[in-house]
Amino acid sequence: MFVCSCFGVTEAQVQQHADDGACTPRQIASACKAGTDCGSCVRRIQAILGRGACSRRETADQGRPVLAGLADLDEAA
């Protein structure tokens, strides 16, 4: 089912981008342009993200440091 009809982005694609680390509608837009034309899909994208699509949000909900993994990446660089 399409979430963003302007760019033909499906709910599964939004879910995949969220699994890859996108936690906000802006980050979803950066990944696939969804929400950047008419904007009518942004609330649907927010709803998908709000029901736990973002793995980092789940980490935060559990009270664990969300950015700890990113700090490790910085040190490795």
Interface with ligand FES by CB under 6 A: which residues? Answer: 4-6, 34-41
Minimum separation from the CB atom of position 54 to ligand FES (A): 19
Nearer to ligand FES, 12 or 71 (CB): 12
Other CB atoms within 10 Å distance of the CB of residue 5: 12
Residue 36: CB partners within 8 Å, gap ≥ 6? 6, 7, 29
> What whole-number distance in Å separates Cα of residue 64 and Cα of residue 41?
31
Nearer to ligand FES, 7 or 59 (CB): 7
Minimum separation from the CB atom of position 37 to ligand FES (A): 4
